[in-house]
Structure 1
Amino acid sequence: MAGQTDDTKREGFGWGIWATGAIAAQFAADLDHVPGARRAAVCSRSMETAQAFSAKHGFASAHADPDAFLADPAVDAVYIASPHTEHCAQALRAIAAGKPVLIEKPVAMTSVEARTIEDAARNAGVFAMEALWTRFLPAVQRAKALIDDGAIGTVRRAEASLLFHRPFDPEHRLFDPARGGGVLHDLGVYPLSLATFLFGAPALERGRWQAAPTGVDRAAEVALTCGSVPFTAKVGFVEDPAAEGRNDFIVYGETGTLRIDRHFLSGPSLTLWDRPLETTPDPRGWGEKLARRLPMPGRTVMDFARPSRGLNFQAAAVQAAIARGETAHPAMPLSDSAAVLAIIEQVLAAPPEN
């Protein structure tokens, strides 16, 4: 399939996607909701796979050769959607080719790799960012504005959970150490990165984790201080569907309480209480579901329903940052990505508690 001409290229912002898995398909679909975005090219190890993905999602060209993909003049930025063990090498290759990169989370396997990507992008004058899409969701942006504006007073503490039903499967990448398996890299980055975004630089207070039979972490509890805010997070792959977590993100202030509602990583809604609480109702309970439909004094629910999965907001932010000539986005600097990975490394440096 031939690449597009320079005249066509100028009609929009051309996205290239490297890899063709589930997250790549979700990103491709959400480009429908990004003003000015254009589906330029796809790269896969197999030309057959690349062409099938390209045809299904409406991309202009398909590649099995990464060099040809990165040389495609229709590609204005590359979304790296490969397994995260490949992120660093592919990001460095794209940066060396002069292509801006949006790298699926986690940005790399280690904090050293994250800093290597950051240094390479800065030195080359090329944009690079981790695709921690949650930071760019309207609900999360609104939550940060409310916190920064003092809507709940001084923040006293915060907590989050992400525990999803995922039975153990030694063949699945999430449980495979060779493919970067483990819950902290897959789910833990969400609460740790969000706490860093909302409150400040993270410092580990304590952490513990449990191992799956393959040795990767299947559950973890982490306590941080982010800026001056104590923060705790629980993440896990659970065998029993009934053991799934609240999966919300709660901020306790001196004058009010804010909750990014279940499942917070996708930012469906916010709940704001005009008083300090010691805990909030469990979002899984029937009483809570009923209460959300009824007006209640002192409680405001802000809905952020949307037609997309939510990956479009980060894509739009990347396009705008590149148009401004930036090599990093102020809302998601790679220094934050490296700091979160450093926390994960510290937690996993201790033996598991099984």
Structure 2
Amino acid sequence: MAAKFLPTNQLASWLAELSGQYRTLVPRREGDAVVFRPFEEAFAPELGVRPTMSTKASVFPKCEPLMTFKYEKDEEDPGKVMVDVTERRDDAPAVVVGGRPCDVAGFFTFDRVYNTEKIKDLNYLARRENTFFVSLACEQPATTCFCNWVGGGPADTKGADVLMVPVSGGWLMEPVTDKGGELVASLEDGKAKEAEAQAVKDKANAAIGDAVDVSAAQDKLLALFDDAAFWEAQSSKCISCGTCTYLCPTCYCFNITDEKFGMEGVRMRTWDNCMSALFTMEASGHNPRPTKAHRLKNRVGHKFSYYPSLHDGNIACVGCGRCIKSCPVSVDIRAIVQNAIAAPAPEQEG
């Protein structure tokens, strides 16, 4: 498929064209944050900086109605109550423009959990199938980026339908899938910009530096599971605010609550946060992860050890660095993983 060129002055008109067929989400600046919102011509998309939030909510919403229910009394037997349940499923087609390659890669972590032989999350899968991604290649990786540690890169196309590469006067639009070809079909030919786009990719790849080998983390983190002193040291700065979890493109835990109003109600799914003290609180009052050290151990261990052990070595982290950049006390997951790898093997009792 031939690459296309999108001039800067045609961005709004192209997005408006997409909006006629799809729910089109773009990065928008709101205060100090850059978040994804439906495209509106009155608000210019923010494509110059990496979004504060990832594209996760486009497929896995922060708050989602799974079903509505209504209690109805039997007219002949008032003591008998029937429940009418209506499932809610959003499969409207959507396009997300301006997410970074690491954001889109995060959905593969979800796929291995929500689309298995035994478990199929139909709400997630409906959005996953009908959401298309125009990823924006990174010109200059941030100091907190480490996508190449976990198999990604500043211009990685995995999971994207189109790769959008900044060039002089606009963007080179490189279709990755047939659907991506359709999304950019109306744009002008981009052959003249291909060499410049490749130079942008090469510069970004050089800027991110050499990848650190974290393959040993899977076994080392497991070996350190009972080393309380190690985890207390790693979590000493942590305040359990949960920012890392809420901003993470690969965190997929959720809670379900029934919101009832009289005889009607809705079952809601909402993002949950493993760094919260209430996340593992049991009805008995017992909490198997009572301290922040326990919770941080679970978070890091899951991403670099437990998840890979269940999913053919795939790490549940895309190296976007949001958990590092937005942490109010500068906890760095890269340092924790490297410290675990470098830590001496715990002494065996007996």
Same fold (TM over 0.5): no
Higher share in helix: 1
TM-score norm. by structure 2 comes to: 0.26
